[in-house]
Every structure is written in C-alpha cells, then in structure tokens.
Amino acid sequence: MITTAYITIVEAQVYFDGRLLTQPWENASDENKNKALLQATRAIDQLNFRGQKSTEDQELQFPRYGDTVVPSDIECACAEEALSLLDGKNPEMEREALAITEQVFGKVKAKFDRDAGRPINILNGIMSATAWGYLLPYMRDPLTMRISRTT
C-alpha cells in the first residue's frame, strides 16, 4: 500500500496558489487533501511508464532513470488529479459511464457513440485531463512491446 504521495499538501498549495478554479482544494480539510494526494499517487503508479525505477526498493514509480528527484510534471499531475477527486470525480462511476450508450429520460432519448472518443485518461484511471497531459511524456508507447530474455 502506498503511504507517500508524490507531492505534499504544502507543495500542492504552492502549485494551486498560481492556478484558477481551485475551490475544491481550498474547501477541503487537510485530512481529505492528504487522502486525495495519496489516491492520486496510487492512480498514477498504476500507469505504464518508460524506463525503470531509480532503485529496486523505492515505493513509487518515480524517480526513474537513476534520477534522485520526482519530476515536477509528476508532482503537478498528482496535484491536478487530487483536485479532480476532491471535486467529486469518482473513477468507478466515470468508467461505468463510458459503457453507457443510451439514456432515456421520459420522452427524451440520448444515444452516445462511445467508440468515437473515449477519454483515454479515464480509461486509464486518471480523472483529470490536465493531469493526463502532464503524465503523457513519461508514458510507454502502448503500441510497442518490450521483450527480455531470462536464463
């Protein structure tokens, strides 16, 4: 179980001080901010990143490539994902909503073509499109395959 977030509450506050529309963060208790940062970190660590962890025994996926610090993009992604979670985005409900192809409300019927634009970030468990943008440069290309031989 992950016990450390990619960014602290204090560091996230510095990030949010320079950003608009952060009311869910501002209105949350420190306990909920910490929970959101940990949940965001867990979601981020489920992704398939390029390269290897810097050390075998490190808890989180970053730092990587022998670096000693977590890239600022990863910290920003963690803060953005935490903000989405505090704003009420529920990963389970968002994924379930992707499967809905038709809704009926009385005499009004709406049909959705889910194959025409499934949000890849939600399919991968990241609720924030902004966080996804920060994470993309670090992601392994899903169309490549890595083969290693063991003896």
Domains of the chain by residue range: 9-138
The residue among 145 and 60 whose pLDDT is bigger is: 60
- pLDDT of 141: 83
Q: What's the distance, CA 103 to chain centroid?
A: 28
The contacts of residue 32 (CB under 8 Å, 6+ apart) are: 86
Q: Which three-class secondary structure state does DSSP give residue 49?
A: strand
Categorize the per-residue pLDDT at 103 as very low, low, confident or very high, splitting at 50, 70 and 90: low
Lowest mean pLDDT among 7-21, 105-119, 134-148: 105-119
Pick the more confident residue, 101 or 72.
72
**Number of CB atoms found within 10 A of residue 69's CB:** 10
Counting every residue written for the chain, the total comes to 151
Tell me, what's the pLDDT at 151? 63
